[in-house]
Amino acid sequence: MLEKIKSLSREYFTDTVKIRHHIHQNPELSFEEKKTAAFIAAELRAIGLTPQEGIAGTGVTALVEGKNPGSRVIALRADIDALPITEQNETPYRSQNPGVMHACGHDVHTSSLLATARILNTLRDQMEGSIKLIFQPGEEKAPGGASMMIREGVLQNPPVQRIIGQHVAPNIPVGKIGFREGMYMASTDEIYMRVHGKGGHGAAPHMTIDPVVVASNIIVSLQQIISRNRNPAYPSVLTFGKMIAEGATNIIPNDVYIEGTFRCMNEEWRAEGLERMKKMAEGIADAMGARCEFCIVKGYPFLQNHPELTRRIRRHATAYVGEENIVDLDLWLAGEDFAFYSQVTDASFYRLGTRNEARGIISGVHTPTFDIDEAALEVGPGVMAYMAVEEAGEMVNG
């Protein structure tokens, strides 16, 4: 089976690259992926599958049924949305939609999963169980397409026992694959504060309630929640990246506006930390004669890779690419809505190397020059197909 999957991945490689180019040239923003979804559905029908469309608006799924199709179901997920970034690459397949770009590799995830679907469908009579393909919208925008698809039953009918996701890694050389068991990616909550004071002349601060000083105290003090109240076993970050005080050298403004992000890897601490921040910010403002509006926009939960599942798919990947091409991943406090799946079923999210320094392919995700070494599109589909086939077989036999 291993050599057959490798052979099919090589055979379909040219078509996979063409599909990636089409998707890359026609990016669509989160929850607006109507043409992308229609293209995916057409590709699935072309290989003999029956897609279900319109899940969470623009999501698409399909089922590849092997022998004993009801015995177990493995889900494979790709995200399909793009980012509001103007592409700066000068390639024949650069974005044709001004201000929109596949700068996070979702075009790679989607084209790779379509090729995986083709491999699996070719081998359906030789594999156990069923493989559910999930093409998910809106990963880049809260509340996250994963949460919406879960609510609409994407992990049911038939019920999914395990789910696997793949993401490009521009920091890992092409041909290599990265894994991490347990905690991997962070929850992502947004914090918005408006500190109301009383403005006035900069030369008469005693006649004002200076919101700049109040806001500064709040920002510095909130960091102590991370350093003094957090269990050190739980990685956590609090960052404020935006502060607007519409004053001048000699003008104290009435208000200060602040935006930040809180990220962590424990749901209990997440709730406790946010509660402490709100109480502290409001208390400091009150003690200094001001008022603080503290708003929390809840984001994605933290991503937990199921240890045993991750261990197994790592073993499958090792058989596919060799031990020398397997790397250990560090904790990463970025967010990913695949985390919603990891909260409700056994899940594992791994990284596909796409870097090629010799060719200058080194830009990170979410940048206008992001691109990949497309040799990854021969590795990615095959390794995911092999993982799925092996997992379905282990579930039936073990």
Which residues are identified as catalytic?
A: 81, 139
Q: Phi and psi for 36 in degrees, rounded to 5? A: -60, -45
Nearest to 85 by CA among 367, 334, 363: 367
Distance between CA atoms of residues 95 and 86, nearest Å: 8
Nearest to 83 by CA among 21, 27, 39: 27
Cβ proximity of 9 and 378 under 8 Å: yes
Cβ proximity of 20 and 374 under 8 Å: yes
Q: Is the peptide bond before 368 cis (omega within 30 degrees of 0)?
A: no
Cβ proximity of 134 and 77 under 8 Å: yes
Beta strand 73-79 pairing with 162-173 = parallel
Give buried/exposed letters for 33-70 (b at 16+ CB in 10 A, else e).
beebbebbbebbeebebebebebbbbbbbbbbbbeebe
